[in-house]
Amino acid sequence: MKVEIVTPEATLYNGTVTSLAVPGVDGEFEILENHAPIVSLLKEGFVKLFGEVTIDKRFTDKFQKGKDRGMWLPIESGTIELKDNKIVVLAD
């Protein structure tokens, strides 16, 4: 799936993942390939990217290695939109 993570400062990630987990307002949920379209608010937590994820060197300090796997980006709030296997995360 294509993923774009945008903050007010920059686009922190623009690439592909095999799955993505986000902290929704009603709890964490994971998105896999061919997931139904969705728009959701996000709360404080981690955007978790899984798969062969390569972070631009300019932004590696914003991400951390996940406890089990993947790359995690801490956020305070945000919005996620998924349509046609393209995910856009607007994060604070």
Say if CB 91 and CB 42 are below 8 A apart: yes
Q: What is the distance, to the nearest Å, from the Cα of residue 78 to the centroid of all Cα atoms in its chain?
A: 10
Q: Give the CATH number, domain containing residue 20.
A: 2.60.15.10
Neighbours of 48 (CB within 10 A): 22
CA torsion sign for 90, 3, 38, 22 is negative
Say if CB 21 and CB 48 are below 8 A apart: yes
> How confident is the prediction for the chain on average, in pLDDT?
96
List residues bridging with 28 in a β-sheet. Answer: 23
Task: Provide the residue range defining the domain that includes 51.
Answer: 2-91
Q: pTM score > 0.85 for this model?
A: yes
Phi-psi region of 34 (alpha: psi -120 to 50; beta: other; left: phi over 0): left
The count of domains in the chain is 1
pLDDT tens column, 8-43: 999 999 999 999 999 999 999 999 999 999 999 999
Say if CB 49 and CB 57 are below 8 A apart: no
